[in-house]
Structure 1
Amino acid sequence: MASLNVGNLGEFLREQRRSAQLSLRQLADAAGVSNPYLSQIERGLRRPSAEILQQLAKALRISAETLYVQAGILDERDREEAEVRSVILADPSINERQKQVLLQIYESFRKENAHSASDGPGDGGDGAADRAGAGGGDTAPGTPHTPADDGTSSN
């Protein structure tokens, strides 16, 4: 079964390399691996380490988590969570405090939804979304604030 994952990884890498319009040699040079080694990975003959996958991901300009999932190292749900965190942390338009607050809110939603899912049917997110929006008084830039939103009126 492991060879199947390695084969799928190799096919995926080849597809990503071709999409990036890179030759095997160019990708090998950019990732810091040998041309024959990369060829063996693409053909499913070698199983690369997480470190090599990270180097390949950087050279291909894709997330390492995507390659980890393809290689069977990481679960799909873990990848999605890691990608959300990476995007938040990489956003230059918000400061470090705002990033940490966003990550805390994201984690609280995930915990609440996991708890709600184990309790029974329903989306489980309404209460958390209401609480997250309450008390702040701020709306996102460009978002109209209407009196109906919070039951108050500025008139």
Structure 2
Amino acid sequence: MAEIIPLQRSPRPTPRDVEPLWRDALGDRLRRLRHERGERLADTAERAGVSPQYLSEIERGLKEPSSEMIAAVAGALDVTLIELTAAVVDDLRAQASERAAVGCRADFALAA
């Protein structure tokens, strides 16, 4: 009689394994900039010419804003597109380094 061997399934990626989306990193950075200025969502949204609801959705990574919208929100926060883009890139690099470090620690733990 043949033995039944269960198939090994590859583990599903955890949120830590998944690379963040640009819109998530952008939204996080915009929210941090707004908080650093001590502003309410409505104040920044008004200066940018967008609704507070739309700005909230951008900050939460639910909307994929156009370049014009990003420029408007950046201007409302007194940062240039270059500064904003560089900050988002730095955030993404830091997250990638953290993910690599966590993966490396997990590899060493498995080897032990």
Give the TM-score of the pair, scaled to structure 2: 0.57
Which sections of structure 1, spanning at least 5 residues, go unmatched? 73-155
Q: Distance in 1 between matches of 2:88 and 2:66?
A: 9
Give the deviation of 1:70 after TM superposition: 5.8
Equivalent residue number for residue 9 of structure 1 = 26
Q: Distance in 2 between matches of 1:38 and 1:11?
A: 12
Equivalent residue number for residue 106 of structure 2 = none
1:28 aligns with 2:39: no
Given that 2:29 and 2:88 are in contact with CA atoms closer than 8 Å, whether structure 1 keeps it comes out as no
Q: Deviations over 1:103-142 (max 9, x none)?
A: xxxxxxxxxxxxxxxxxxxxxxxxxxxxxxxxxxxxxxxx
What aligned pairs does 1:48-127 form with structure 2 within 5 A after superposition?
Answer: 48-69=65-86
Give the deviation of 1:10 after TM superposition: 0.6
Q: Deviations over 1:48-96 (max 9, x none)?
A: 1111111111110111123345677xxxxxxxxxxxxxxxxxxxxxxxx
Cα RMSD for the two superposed structures: 2.1
Given that 2:49 and 2:72 are in contact with CA atoms closer than 8 Å, whether structure 1 keeps it comes out as yes
Amino acid at match of 2:31: R
Given that 1:6 and 1:71 are in contact with CA atoms closer than 8 Å, whether structure 2 keeps it comes out as no
Equivalent residue number for residue 59 of structure 2 = 42
Report the structure number with the largest CA radius of gyration: 1
Q: 3-state SS of the aligned residue for 1:48?
A: coil
Count of aligned pairs between the two proteins: 72
Which sections of structure 2, spanning at least 5 residues, go unmatched? 1-17, 90-112
Where relative contact order (Cα < 8 A, 6+ residues apart) is larger, the structure is 2
Aligned-pair identity (%):
38
Q: 3-state SS of the aligned residue for 1:62?
A: coil
Q: Distance in 1 between matches of 2:45 and 2:65?
A: 13
